[in-house]
Amino acid sequence: MAAKSLQEQLLGVGLVDKKKVKKLKAESLQHKQKVKKGKVSATEVDDRQELLKRQRDEKAEKDRLLNLERQRLIEEKAVHGQIRQMIEQNRIKRESGDISYHFTDNKKVKKLYVTQSIHNDLSCGRLAIVKLDENYELIAEPVAVKITERDPSYVLVCNNRTESIEDDPYADFQIPDDLMW
Protein backbone atom coordinates (compact mmCIF):
# COMPACT_ATOMS: atom_id res chain seq x y z
CA MET A 1 0.00 0.00 0.00
CA ALA A 2 1.47 3.38 -1.09
CA ALA A 3 1.59 6.27 1.31
CA LYS A 4 -0.90 8.97 0.52
CA SER A 5 -0.29 12.67 1.09
CA LEU A 6 -2.20 14.46 3.80
CA GLN A 7 -4.36 16.22 1.23
CA GLU A 8 -5.33 12.95 -0.44
CA GLN A 9 -6.16 11.40 2.91
CA LEU A 10 -8.34 14.40 3.90
CA LEU A 11 -10.02 14.29 0.49
CA GLY A 12 -10.68 10.54 0.86
CA VAL A 13 -12.25 10.94 4.30
CA GLY A 14 -14.41 13.81 3.03
CA LEU A 15 -13.18 16.51 5.32
CA VAL A 16 -12.18 18.73 2.36
CA ASP A 17 -13.36 19.06 -1.20
CA LYS A 18 -11.43 19.47 -4.48
CA LYS A 19 -11.79 23.28 -4.50
CA LYS A 20 -10.21 23.54 -1.10
CA VAL A 21 -7.30 21.27 -2.14
CA LYS A 22 -6.58 23.42 -5.24
CA LYS A 23 -6.68 26.59 -3.15
CA LEU A 24 -4.26 25.12 -0.59
CA LYS A 25 -1.88 24.00 -3.38
CA ALA A 26 -1.91 27.53 -4.88
CA GLU A 27 -1.23 29.12 -1.49
CA SER A 28 1.56 26.63 -0.84
CA LEU A 29 3.16 27.43 -4.19
CA GLN A 30 2.92 31.19 -3.54
CA HIS A 31 4.45 30.73 -0.09
CA LYS A 32 7.37 28.75 -1.53
CA GLN A 33 8.03 31.47 -4.10
CA LYS A 34 7.99 34.20 -1.41
CA VAL A 35 10.42 32.24 0.76
CA LYS A 36 12.65 31.62 -2.23
CA LYS A 37 12.64 35.33 -3.15
CA GLY A 38 13.45 36.30 0.44
CA LYS A 39 16.47 34.04 0.61
CA VAL A 40 17.84 34.72 -2.84
CA SER A 41 17.06 38.44 -3.07
CA ALA A 42 20.46 39.70 -4.20
CA THR A 43 19.62 43.41 -4.07
CA GLU A 44 18.72 43.32 -0.38
CA VAL A 45 21.89 41.42 0.45
CA ASP A 46 24.00 43.78 -1.69
CA ASP A 47 22.44 46.85 -0.06
CA ARG A 48 23.14 45.47 3.40
CA GLN A 49 26.73 44.60 2.51
CA GLU A 50 27.26 48.05 0.98
CA LEU A 51 25.88 49.72 4.12
CA LEU A 52 28.15 47.63 6.35
CA LYS A 53 31.17 48.38 4.13
CA ARG A 54 30.41 52.12 4.22
CA GLN A 55 30.12 52.01 8.03
CA ARG A 56 33.45 50.16 8.29
CA ASP A 57 35.11 52.69 5.98
CA GLU A 58 33.73 55.64 7.97
CA LYS A 59 34.93 54.09 11.24
CA ALA A 60 38.37 53.43 9.75
CA GLU A 61 38.63 57.05 8.57
CA LYS A 62 37.52 58.34 11.97
CA ASP A 63 40.09 56.11 13.71
CA ARG A 64 42.81 57.28 11.30
CA LEU A 65 42.03 60.95 12.05
CA LEU A 66 42.06 60.27 15.80
CA ASN A 67 45.42 58.52 15.48
CA LEU A 68 46.84 61.45 13.50
CA GLU A 69 45.66 63.89 16.19
CA ARG A 70 47.19 61.74 18.95
CA GLN A 71 50.45 61.51 17.01
CA ARG A 72 50.50 65.30 16.52
CA LEU A 73 49.97 65.87 20.25
CA ILE A 74 52.77 63.43 21.11
CA GLU A 75 55.14 65.16 18.68
CA GLU A 76 54.17 68.60 20.01
CA LYS A 77 54.83 67.46 23.57
CA ALA A 78 58.21 66.06 22.53
CA VAL A 79 59.18 69.36 20.86
CA HIS A 80 58.20 71.34 23.97
CA GLY A 81 60.29 68.95 26.08
CA GLN A 82 63.29 69.44 23.77
CA ILE A 83 62.92 73.23 23.96
CA ARG A 84 62.67 73.14 27.76
CA GLN A 85 65.80 71.00 27.94
CA MET A 86 67.70 73.30 25.55
CA ILE A 87 66.80 76.37 27.61
CA GLU A 88 67.66 74.76 30.95
CA GLN A 89 71.00 73.45 29.71
CA ASN A 90 72.08 76.62 27.90
CA ARG A 91 70.77 79.44 30.07
CA ILE A 92 73.26 82.06 31.07
CA LYS A 93 73.45 83.07 34.69
CA ARG A 94 72.05 86.55 34.92
CA GLU A 95 73.78 88.91 37.26
CA SER A 96 71.66 91.62 38.74
CA GLY A 97 72.64 94.80 37.00
CA ASP A 98 71.67 98.41 37.03
CA ILE A 99 70.85 98.77 33.32
CA SER A 100 67.32 98.02 32.20
CA TYR A 101 66.72 96.21 28.93
CA HIS A 102 63.20 96.67 27.55
CA PHE A 103 61.42 94.05 25.43
CA THR A 104 57.87 92.99 24.65
CA ASP A 105 56.07 89.88 25.82
CA ASN A 106 52.60 89.36 24.40
CA LYS A 107 52.14 93.08 23.60
CA LYS A 108 53.33 94.12 27.07
CA VAL A 109 56.59 95.96 27.61
CA LYS A 110 58.80 94.15 30.10
CA LYS A 111 62.00 95.26 31.78
CA LEU A 112 65.00 93.13 32.65
CA TYR A 113 67.90 94.51 34.70
CA VAL A 114 71.25 93.36 33.32
CA THR A 115 74.91 94.31 33.39
CA GLN A 116 76.52 96.44 30.69
CA SER A 117 78.21 93.46 29.00
CA ILE A 118 74.95 91.48 28.84
CA HIS A 119 73.15 94.57 27.53
CA ASN A 120 75.75 94.92 24.77
CA ASP A 121 75.47 91.21 23.90
CA LEU A 122 71.67 91.47 23.72
CA SER A 123 71.87 94.56 21.52
CA CYS A 124 74.43 92.99 19.19
CA GLY A 125 72.52 89.72 18.89
CA ARG A 126 74.97 87.44 20.68
CA LEU A 127 72.38 86.72 23.39
CA ALA A 128 68.63 86.20 23.24
CA ILE A 129 65.78 86.35 25.75
CA VAL A 130 63.43 83.37 25.94
CA LYS A 131 60.43 82.68 28.12
CA LEU A 132 60.31 79.46 30.09
CA ASP A 133 57.11 79.10 32.09
CA GLU A 134 56.79 82.57 33.70
CA ASN A 135 60.53 83.33 33.83
CA TYR A 136 62.78 85.06 31.34
CA GLU A 137 66.09 83.41 30.56
CA LEU A 138 69.17 84.51 28.63
CA ILE A 139 70.64 82.07 26.10
CA ALA A 140 73.19 82.21 23.31
CA GLU A 141 71.98 83.22 19.86
CA PRO A 142 72.71 79.86 18.13
CA VAL A 143 70.53 78.07 20.69
CA ALA A 144 67.78 80.65 20.17
CA VAL A 145 67.89 79.99 16.42
CA LYS A 146 67.44 76.25 17.04
CA ILE A 147 64.51 76.96 19.37
CA THR A 148 62.93 79.28 16.80
CA GLU A 149 63.08 76.49 14.22
CA ARG A 150 61.00 74.30 16.54
CA ASP A 151 58.62 76.87 18.07
CA PRO A 152 59.16 80.62 17.66
CA SER A 153 56.78 81.52 20.50
CA TYR A 154 59.48 80.81 23.12
CA VAL A 155 61.98 83.38 21.78
CA LEU A 156 61.08 86.95 22.74
CA VAL A 157 64.27 88.80 21.74
CA CYS A 158 66.86 87.63 19.25
CA ASN A 159 68.43 90.60 17.48
CA ASN A 160 70.29 90.16 14.23
CA ARG A 161 74.02 90.19 14.64
CA THR A 162 75.34 93.64 13.90
CA GLU A 163 79.08 93.03 14.12
CA SER A 164 79.75 93.14 10.38
CA ILE A 165 77.66 95.90 8.89
CA GLU A 166 79.23 96.96 5.60
CA ASP A 167 76.67 99.29 4.00
CA ASP A 168 75.32 101.07 7.07
CA PRO A 169 74.02 104.46 5.92
CA TYR A 170 74.28 105.82 9.47
CA ALA A 171 77.86 104.68 10.13
CA ASP A 172 79.17 108.26 9.97
CA PHE A 173 76.80 109.49 12.68
CA GLN A 174 77.73 109.21 16.32
CA ILE A 175 75.30 107.67 18.81
CA PRO A 176 74.85 109.70 22.00
CA ASP A 177 76.13 108.03 25.18
CA ASP A 178 72.94 108.57 27.13
CA LEU A 179 70.69 106.94 24.50
CA MET A 180 69.49 103.51 25.61
CA TRP A 181 66.53 101.43 24.71
Radius of gyration of the chain (CA): 43
More confident residue, 83 or 31: 83
* 52 falls within a domain: yes
| Helix, strand, coil share (%) of the chain residues, nearest 5 | 55, 15, 25
Residue 16: phi and psi, rounded to 5, are -130, 160
In terms of residue numbers, what domain contains 118?
48-163
Q: What is the mean pLDDT of the chain?
A: 82
In-domain check, residue 118: yes
pLDDT on residue 17: 83
In a domain, 151, yes or no: yes
pTM: 0.54
Q: What is the mean pLDDT of residues 116-143?
A: 87
Please state whether 68 falls in left (phi above 0), alpha (psi between -120 and 50) or beta: alpha
Task: Give the total number of structural domains in the chain.
Answer: 1
Q: pLDDT tens across 22-66, in order?
A: 888 888 888 777 767 665 456 667 788 888 999 999 999 999 999
Mean pLDDT of 64-70: 95
Residue 178 lies in a domain: no
> Per the domain annotation, does 124 fall within a domain?
yes
Helices (H), 91-101: none
Helix, strand, or coil (residue 103): strand
Residue 166 has pLDDT above 70, yes or no: no
Higher pLDDT, 12 or 149: 149
- On whether residue 59 sits in a domain, the answer given is yes
Is 171 or 101 the better-scoring residue by pLDDT?
Answer: 101
Q: Is residue 117 part of a domain?
A: yes
Does some domain include residue 37? no
More confident residue, 146 or 172: 146
Least reliable range by pLDDT among 17-21, 70-74, 139-143, 149-153: 17-21
